[in-house]
Every structure is written in structure tokens, then in C-alpha cells.
């Protein structure tokens, strides 16, 4: 069914939001780097101090039913703030005397930010920090099922700006979101950052304006014979249950070397995993996906207990995620596809080539470009996986749902939005971070000539046969 047309009231609202955003950007043009950094700190504290983050987490669960009522992703805001404060975002940001190049940062402009239902309060804060750092303005378009939470987050950040004597309209939020209104905002803004599902990203890329989108996840982890089994099982539980598996980086599929399969499966159960039997597997499949193979909304990012109840079987106390043994891969075998919840599929492999083949098959079902991980101390295995996996990021011996988007113990840029490259239909496969929120002016000065000879450039083909002109015309 085609979306309804944009109403005159929505069109008027969109233009008003955009006009206010551009006026707000104009008002902060005189601010220097120190002043802008203070604004980033002010809005981050207002929305992500521990007490407020806890309130927002509870509000999010009460509104959408998804996630957990604890601010498990608050660290992401702290990491984004760290990364932002350590970089320059105006004036000269890079100099390369050898090449005679100097780079100057400029604002990207007004950004339309599409916010997913699975991250209604953390994602807006992170985007606001990076945007303000670059003197951009943001208009947030929340998901209808979590609009109250996102509006509350933006209200807090606007209040923080006002208290600093800064016009609040640098950050605005749509109160009554709709697809036509979001499309209008995207078509008129300077840039769109779309964090969400495929339909949302497709709309962003169809807006006629530049856009950064994200791709679907189907995080797949390889556990080889050298893995620390207890550590791998513990990290798997943390990743799978973090915010009830709402993130696209949460472990979805585990491939385990057959030599340690039984030991690892036992360790997962010790960590709180519940191994479903064949009957429960059938019940779970019927509850988790509809007749067309689409995920059912009432099981996305829900506690394992709730999912089991909907499926029709009891879950023992202390069990926090569901383990599904699987041997088949493909779109018709739904447990090998993206899950967005507290269900984990486990496969076994015989020999590392078999593991690599299963990785290829799984990503052919979906999730190409996003991520996978490996628990191994064998650098050859890590290298082999990196050579063949069609993903933008591979985490080694880390909690996947946290590590992909950057942690304090790895070097990934902190973000809530991860590009998946051409594999996932995105323009970039990088973590969307500060550099993506700015325009850059390159200033080039003359340098000594750096021109190799023809012989150096053409190598063995230099001064060989020259092809004759074609003997017939097309």
C-alpha cells in the first residue's frame, strides 16, 4: 500500500523546522572550538547522566516494550563524547606538509536524523554530540512507537542549550512523526542519517539528498578449538542479553568447532542459556516469525521469558536467552537469519574451511556488510576469516554487541550508526562518526614534481607491441 500524501500542515511544519534550524546554525557561527566542546558536554550530561539515563531507559521500555529498564548503552554516549572532544571540528583539522595539503572543516548543514524504535534515547544523544561539535543542526524524526522517549531526550538537550545561552533550535524533534513528513524533511535537509531498518534506509537514499544509512545485521561468531571457552560463553551471554538483544550487533549465530562443541554448549547453559528441544524449536519459530517470514513485533528485544511464554513453553528460573541447535542455513531456515532478540542459533563445524563456508552461507541469507566475530588465539584463523567474510568489521575475542560500535578497550570509532558498505547497500562501511558530520575544504600548495618516468609506470609493458587500429567500424 502506497503511503499517504503529505498534508499541507506537515509541509508547513517541515519548512518551519528547517527554517529554525538554519537560523540556529547562523546564530552559532561565531563560537570557537572550546565553546562548542562545552555545548557537547552540556547536552551529554543533561541526557546521559546516570540518573537521567536510567529514567529514559525505563521510559523507553514502558513506551515500546523493547529493551531493558537499565541504561546498558550509556557507555556509548561517554565514548562518543570522548572521541568528539579529542578531535578538532573547525578551522584547520589536518596538515600534510609533504603533500602541501591543509584541510579545513566546515558544517555539513541541517541533518535529518531517523531514530529507530530499538534505540530511542542513546542514538539521538550520540548524533547530537557529533552534530553540535561540527556546528550542524539536527531535526530528529522518531519512530512512532517510541516518539515520547525521543522527544523527552531532545527536550532535555534543548534545555541544556538554553541554559548555556544558545538557541535551542539546533536540536528539534518531530512530535507526531509520519512517513510523508520524514520524507519531506529528508528531501529538504542537507544530510540524512538513517539508523534503522531497510525501508527507512531506502527512503533516505531515495530522498535526492546525501544520506548515511546502515544495513541489517546478522552477527555470526566463530569459536575455534583455541578459544577460551568460559570467556567466550560469558561474552556471548553479555552480547545476547544486552538490552534484550535489540542491537543489530548482538550475536545471532554461533559456529563452534565440533571438538569443543559439547563443552561450549554446556558453558552457554551455565551462563544462563536455555537449550530448546525439537518441539520447543517449532513453537519458537511460529512465535518469532509470521507466515511470510517476517519477525513478529511482540518478540523483538523482549526478555527470553516473554518470548518463551508467547511460544507456549515454560522457561526455568535463571535462564536469560534461548539456544537453538541448527544445521541448516538459508532464507527458508529462519533461525539462520537476523533475530533482534534473545534467541541464539548454534551450529557446529568440522575443520576451519567448513566454518568459513558456513559464514559465507549465513551472510548470503542476510546481514552482509555488517559484522562477525571470532574467539580464537590462532592468527591464521583470524586472517582466514578476515579474507573471506563479507563484513565491514570483525571483532576478536570481544562482546560483539558492544565492540562493533566502539568500546573503551578497542580502537573502533564510537557510534550508534554503522555503515555496511556496498554489501549492505550503504555508501560507507565505516562507523558513522565525527568526520561524517562535516564538509572539508582541501587547500593545496605547490610541491616539487612527483612524476615517475613512463618506464617506471608501465613496467614490463613499456615499449612493447602497440595494438593496431580496428579493421572494421561499429
Give the span between the Cα atoms of 143 and 180, in whole angstroms: 13
Cα–Cα distances (Å) from 45 to 125, 126, 444, in that order, read: 10, 12, 40
From the list 120, 124, 116, 112, the residue with the least C-alpha distance to 197 is 116
Indicate if 248 belongs to the active site.
Answer: yes
Please give the share of the chain, as a percent, with pLDDT higher than 90: 91
Upper half-sphere CA count for residue 341 (Cβ side, 13 Å): 30
Average pLDDT, the chain: 95
pLDDT band at 450 (very low <50, low <70, confident <90, very high): very high
pLDDT band at 472 (very low <50, low <70, confident <90, very high): confident
* pLDDT tens per residue across span 72-115: 889 999 999 999 999 999 999 999 999 999 999 999 999 999 99
User: Which of the following is catalytic: 40, 173, 248, 420?
Assistant: 248
Please give the share of the chain, as a percent, with pLDDT higher than 70: 99
Predicted pLDDT of residue 417: 92
What sign does the dihedral 110-443-436-411 (CA atoms) show? negative
pTM of the full predicted structure?
Answer: 0.94
Residue 354's contacts (CB-CB under 8 Å, 6 or more residues apart) are none
Beta bridge mates, 441 = 104
The CA-to-CA distance between both ends of the chain, in Å, stands at: 47
3-state per-residue secondary structure call for 26-72: HHCCCCCHHHHHHHHHHHHHHHHCHHHHHHHHHHHHHHHCCCCCCCC
* pLDDT tens per residue across span 160-202: 999 999 999 999 999 999 999 999 999 999 999 998 777 778 8
pLDDT value at 438 more than 70: yes
CB 391 within 8 A of CB 372: yes
CB 249 within 8 A of CB 219: yes
* pLDDT tens per residue across span 263-306: 999 999 999 999 999 999 999 999 999 999 999 999 999 999 99
Helices vs. strands in the chain: H and E counts, helices first: 16, 15
Q: Which parts of 29-178 fold into alpha helices (H)?
A: 33-48, 50-64, 74-85, 122-133, 147-163
Range in 70-79, 128-137, 279-288, 374-383 with the lowest mean pLDDT: 70-79
Strand ranges of the sheet holding 343-349, from the earlier edge strand across to the other edge: 273-275, 321-325, 343-349, 253-257, 220-223, 369-375, 391-396
Strand ranges of the sheet holding 110-114, from the earlier edge strand across to the other edge: 171-173, 137-141, 110-114, 191-194, 211-213
CB 286 within 8 A of CB 335: no
* pLDDT tens per residue across span 238-259: 999 999 998 889 999 999 999 9
CB 353 within 8 A of CB 360: no
Q: For the residues 116-141, what does the mean pLDDT come to?
A: 96
| Phi, psi for 280 (deg, rounded to 5) | -65, -30
pLDDT value at 157 more than 90: yes
* pLDDT tens per residue across span 201-226: 888 888 999 999 888 889 999 999 99
| Cα dihedral: 318, 61, 325, 350 (round 10) | -110
What sign does the dihedral 34-409-255-288 (CA atoms) show? negative
For the chain, state the CA radius of gyration.
25
Cα–Cα distances (Å) from 440 to 127, 154, 198, 215, 434, in that order, read: 19, 28, 29, 26, 12
Predicted pLDDT of residue 24: 98
The three cell numbers locating residue 45: 550530561
From the list 346, 355, 326, the residue with the least C-alpha distance to 271 is 346
Give the span between the Cα atoms of 273 and 130, in whole angstroms: 38
Q: For the residues 314-342, what does the mean pLDDT come to?
A: 96
Give the span between the Cα atoms of 93 and 134, in whole angstroms: 12
pLDDT band at 1 (very low <50, low <70, confident <90, very high): low
Amino acid at each position: 500500500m502506497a503511503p499517504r500524501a503529505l498534508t499541507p500542515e506537515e509541509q508547513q511544519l517541515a519548512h518551519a523546522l528547517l527554517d529554525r534550524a538554519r537560523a540556529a546554525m547562523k546564530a552559532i557561527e561565531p563560537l570557537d572550538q572550546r565553546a562548542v566542546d562545552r555545548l557537547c558536554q552540556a547536552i551529554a550530561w543533561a541526557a546521559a547522566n546516570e540518573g537521567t539515563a536510567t529514567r529514559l531507559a525505563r521510559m523507553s521500555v514502558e513506551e515500546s516494550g523493547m529493551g531493558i529498564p537499565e541504561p546498558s548503552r550509556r557507555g556509548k554516549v561517554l565514548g562518543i563524547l570522548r572521541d568528539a572532544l579529542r578531535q578538532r571540528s573547525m578551522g584547520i583539522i589536518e596538515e600534510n606538509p609533504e603533500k602541501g595539503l591543509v584541510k579545513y572543516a566546515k558544517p555539513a548543514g541541517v541533518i535529518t536524523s531517523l531514530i529507530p524504535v530499538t534505540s530511542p534515547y542513546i542514538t539521538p544523544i550520540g548524533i547530537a554530540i557529533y552534530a553540535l561539535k561540527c556546528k550542524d543542526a539536527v531535526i530528529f524524526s522518531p519512530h512512532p512507537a517510541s516518539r515520547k522517549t525521543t522527544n523527552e531526550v531532545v527536550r532535555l538537550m534543548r534545555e541544556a542549550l538554553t541554559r548555556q545561552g544558545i538557541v535551542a533550535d539546533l536540536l528539534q524533534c518531530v512530535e507526531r512523526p509520519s512517513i510523508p513528513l520524514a520524507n519531506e524533511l529528508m528531501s529538504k535537509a542537507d544530510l540524512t542519517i538513517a539508523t534503522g531498518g531497510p525501508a527507512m534506509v531506502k527512503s533516505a537514499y531515495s530522498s535526492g539528498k546525501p544520506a548515511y544509512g546502515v544495513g541489517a545485521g546478522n552477527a555470526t561468531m566463530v569459536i575455534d578449538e583455541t578459544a577460551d571457552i568460559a570467556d567466550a560463553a560469558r561474552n556471548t551471554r553479555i552480547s545476547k542479553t544486552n538490552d534484550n538483544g535489540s542491537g543489530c550487533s548482538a550475536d545471532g549465530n554461533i559456529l563452534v568447532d565440533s571438538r569443543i562443541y559439547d563443552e561450549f554448549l554446556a558453558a552457554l547453559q551455565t551462563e544462563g542459556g536455555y537449550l530448546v528441544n525439537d518441539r520447543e524449536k517449532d513453537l519458537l519459530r511460529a512465535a518469532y516469525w509470521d507466515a511470510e517470514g517476517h519477525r513478529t513485533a511482540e518478540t523483538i528485544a523482549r526478555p527470553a521469558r516473554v518470548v518463551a511464554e508467547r511460544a507456549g513453553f515454560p522457561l526455568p528460573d535463571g535462564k536469560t536467552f534461548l539456544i537453538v541447535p541448527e544445521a541448516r542455513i538459508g532464507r527458508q531456515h529462519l533461525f539462520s537469519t537476523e533475530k533482534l532478540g534473545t534467541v541464539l542459533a548454534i551450529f557446529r563445524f568440522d575443520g576451519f574451511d567448513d566454518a568459513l563456508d558456513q559464514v559465507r552461507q549465513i551472510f548470503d541469507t542476510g546481514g552482509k556488510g555488517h559484522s562477525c566475530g571470532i574467539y580464537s588465539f590462532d592468527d591464521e584463523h583470524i586472517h582466514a576469516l578476515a579474507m573471506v567474510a563479507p563484513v565491514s568489521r570483525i571483532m576478536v575475542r570481544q562482546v560483539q554487541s558492544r565492540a562493533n560500535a566502539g568500546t573503551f578497550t578497542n580502537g573502533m570509532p564510537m557510534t550508534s550508526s554503522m555503515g555496511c558498505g556496498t554489501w549492505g547497500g550503504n555508501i560507507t562501511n565505516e562507523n558513522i562518526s565525527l568526520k561524517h558530520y562535516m564538509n572539508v575544504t582541501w587547500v593545496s600548495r605547490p610541491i616539487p614534481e612527483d612524476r615517475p618516468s613512463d618506464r617506471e609506470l608501465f613496467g614490463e609493458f613499456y615499449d612493447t607491441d602497440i595494438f593496431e587500429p580496428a579493421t572494421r567500424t561499429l
